[in-house]
Structure 1
Amino acid sequence: MAGSVDPEGEVVAEVRKGSLWHDGNFLTMWSGQALSQFGEQVSLLGIPVLAVVLLHSTAFEVGVLDASGLAAFLLIGLPAGAWIDRMRKRHVMIAADVVRAAALAAIPALWALGLLHIWQLYAVAFVIGVATVFFDVSYQSVIPSLVRTDQIAEANGKLEATAQVAHLTGPAIAGGLIGLVSAPFAMITTACTYAASFAALSFTRDHERPRPAHEHEPLRHEIAEGLRWVFGNPALRRIVGTTSTSNLFNTISGTMLPIFLLRELGMTAATMGVILSLGAVGGLLGAIATPHLVRRLGEGPAIPISAISFSVVAVFLPVAAMVPQIAFGLLVVQGFVMSFTVLVYNITQVTFRQRITPPRLLGRMNASIRFVVWGVMPIASLVSGGLGTWLGIVPTMWIGAIGQLASALFVVIGPFWAMRELPDGAGNPA
């Protein structure tokens, strides 16, 4: 498949007309992203369960563990975007897969030798987090160079659908693996998925060319340019406000979720995996339904409507502690509705971001937004650990749920209701 370079020095993929099912570059990249997402889901459940069940970690230690995995978005999120804009994004994704596979392989080795301690889990989580920053920013930024502008929404829908299949199957499989071979050795499966992702991405043939070195400005200037682009756009500012507030309080709740389910509600790791997987069915259906909902509601209104929905159902999580006899069903419903509406929100706003941003700024745009919306999460994890120790697990879940109720206000009070079609890079409706 041939490629051409536009006047900015960026590659414009020449893809054949029609569905992305016929685009080999996209399909191979999609395969690598899918395998990586699946591996991530197994580790997201396996590492905390290992800490709670086998290392008998306290609430604060679980908070530190969660913060360790997310700290990279706060510490290196901004420079990572500028670095990625200077490199071939597919190569960055390949390197990230190698690092994550090696880090996870250390867990079963240390456990087998009787040397595994909580601080080593902190280190593994941090290394994986650093690699994930580079992988995630790269795969979100590479899409416009692989597909036409009018295919970006379709590409994002496929990527998000794959992520939800991983959310759907990953926790259940992780729970089964943990019950079968124990949490440390379940990490071998995750390492293998990253290795498979590496192989798939290695066979991808993209035509991206990094900017010549003489076009690079000082790193701080390039970082500032990305920040100005994001926060100089009123619609992007509101999206960042809702997403960061929701992530802040969702992380306060989510950090304590393993303890909440395994100790407060007395569930098993396998049951926890089933709840997460059944809830993720909503995300899969949301990815499929988004194009139809957007056509019916309009691109602009779809953003506040979905934000209102996932903010309201967050309250169901602590309510489950009040009615333990129906907790399982309530948690499945909560997860289903939240996953469905989050996917509608994410596909719509990510497509908008990619569509209006110049190609040379894509890495910095995504990294700047992730610096804020993911950078709050390690702070929230530490706060969650402290609140869980000080107030208890259930009160902490209530704080997280009530905070999420306010998160939708940024996009509810804004221009989206009147925007049937969100603008493209030239400021025109797409």
Structure 2
Amino acid sequence: MVRIPAVLREREFRRFWLGETVSLFGDQITLIALPLVAVLTLDASASQMGFLTAAALVPNLLFSLHAGAWLDRRGKRRQAMIATALGRAALLATIPLAYLLGLLSFAQLLVVSFLVGTLSVFFFVAYSTLFVSLVPRSRYLEANSVLYGSRAFSFVSGPSVGGVLVQALAAPGALVADALSFLVSALSLSSISPDEPPTEEAQRGHVKTGIRYIANSPIVRASLLATATINFFNFIFWALFILYATRTLGVRPGLLGLVLGAASVGGVIGAVVAGKLSRRIGVGPAFAVGCVVFPAPLVLVPLAGGAEWTILGLLFAAEFLSGLGVMILDITVGSIKAALIPDRLRARVAGAYMLVNYGVRPVGSLVGGGLGSWIGLRPTLWIASVGAVAGVLWLLPSPLLRLHELPEVEE
């Protein structure tokens, strides 16, 4: 008999989770459909595809700090999330509309990607505050497991649904599905009314308070250094993975998609076991396990060779185990931060954390492309997969490895 998580029996969290789940599936469709609009509809070049990726990531560097300060000062995080969901729906809807009118251009894709990325920054900075307004402290791990489980399941089926929609509706038409998913998200958020934490008056240094908090917190500082290091090397890896798998290993794109989609079930399992692992060995040690199990299996990719079934088996194992590890990492670190960071600083700390943790991603992609051209694909993949494992070293001198229960609030 399947046990329904206790947190899903709470009406407001259940509605929040449902909206997030639908939106996550829509996001996975856009991850396939938007690049295909550029490639298939507008015949974009390799450099243009790089600009399109950068346009979606750059807002993390530009706006994360100020988004956190603005939300902590203004409050009304739920209304901000509703507005950003509606805004992203409207922006994505302009692409199929322009396509039908014969007006679609690459410049429009760049502008839409940048603006959607900007609104996403505000949404996810507000998300951390709304989460703790909906979930009691004792349920943080369970609630994060449920939310990240939806994310992992979207990785399994979202790309397949996206592929079917692209085939049926053409790439621009498939974006309608993500626009509709944002409407569902906005509707679910409008149906709840959590008690949000009070706002804080803006004072000198208000914007930089999140940075100072992270710098002075041994737990948050170590977790950020670890995850940012992993992210940097992981984006070096993924900048070259598809190219390496298809050109060097000779894996057909359709077959590669099937293998990676099937292997994404590792993330679903990771979401299930994260809470149990945390209770057994402690939440801090479980986070350290995730910091190793997420990147370490990727060494199987540069090791791959020989018969086709051997290559596919190693790629499957790499993605399966890595997906399991990333869920353990994300669920544990998300719960630790939810418990530790005071409400009055939550949005500013989230913004500062995103600035670094997401800001290294475009840098990693650029470094990956440069290294791949200079020393070759396989050596670069070795550097990326081994370098990412080194992220766990930041945890060794920190209190995280001795953290068995969720920490108390740290002012």
Same fold (TM over 0.5): yes
Is the contact made by 1:48 and 1:258 (CA closer than 8 Å) also made in structure 2? no
Gaps of 5+ in 1: 1-17
Q: How does 1:280-429 map to 2 (within 5 A)?
A: 280-320=264-304, 324-387=308-371, 396-425=380-409
Q: How does 1:14-29 map to 2 (within 5 A)?
A: 19-29=6-16
List per-residue Cα deviations over 1:119-160 (Å, max 9, x = no partner).
332222211111111111222221211222112222212111
- The whole-number CA distance in structure 1 between the counterparts of 2:7 and 2:241 is 37
Moved more, 110-119 or 373-382: 110-119
- The whole-number CA distance in structure 2 between the counterparts of 1:271 and 1:89 is 43
What is the total number of aligned residue pairs between the two structures? 405
User: Taking structure 1 as reference, are residues 188 and 260 closer, same or farther at Cα in structure 2, changes over 3 Å only?
Assistant: farther
User: Taking structure 1 as reference, are residues 114 and 319 closer, same or farther at Cα in structure 2, changes over 3 Å only?
Assistant: farther
Corresponding position of 2:21: 34
Corresponding position of 1:267: 252
User: Taking structure 1 as reference, are residues 132 and 324 closer, same or farther at Cα in structure 2, changes over 3 Å only?
Assistant: farther
Q: How does 1:178-197 map to 2 (within 5 A)?
A: 178-197=166-185
Shift of 1:45: 2.2
Residue type matched to 1:245 in 2?
T
Residue type matched to 2:313 in 1?
G
User: Taking structure 1 as reference, are residues 365 and 183 closer, same or farther at Cα in structure 2, changes over 3 Å only?
Assistant: same
**Which of 137, 143, 160 is the aligned partner of 1:155?**
143
DSSP 3-state at the match of 1:221: coil
Corresponding position of 1:71: 58
The RMSD of aligned alpha carbons is: 2.6
Residue type matched to 2:38 in 1?
A
- The whole-number CA distance in structure 1 between the counterparts of 2:125 and 2:65 is 11
DSSP 3-state at the match of 1:408: helix
DSSP 3-state at the match of 1:207: coil
Residue type matched to 1:33 in 2?
E
Shift of 1:239: 0.7
User: Taking structure 1 as reference, are residues 80 and 74 closer, same or farther at Cα in structure 2, changes over 3 Å only?
Assistant: same
Is the contact made by 2:65 and 2:208 (CA closer than 8 Å) also made in structure 1? no
User: Taking structure 1 as reference, are residues 371 and 385 closer, same or farther at Cα in structure 2, changes over 3 Å only?
Assistant: same
Corresponding position of 1:232: 216
Is the contact made by 2:64 and 2:125 (CA closer than 8 Å) also made in structure 1? no
Shift of 1:326: 3.4
Shift of 1:392: 5.8
Shift of 1:209: 6.1
Corresponding position of 2:158: 170
Residue type matched to 2:10 in 1?
D
**Which of 221, 226, 246 is the aligned partner of 2:230?**
246
Normalised TM-score (structure 2): 0.89
Normalised TM-score (structure 1): 0.86
Moved more, 389-398 or 357-366: 389-398
User: Taking structure 1 as reference, are residues 44 and 392 closer, same or farther at Cα in structure 2, changes over 3 Å only?
Assistant: farther
- The whole-number CA distance in structure 2 between the counterparts of 1:263 and 1:56 is 21
User: Taking structure 1 as reference, are residues 276 and 87 closer, same or farther at Cα in structure 2, changes over 3 Å only?
Assistant: farther
Is the contact made by 2:339 and 2:406 (CA closer than 8 Å) also made in structure 1? no
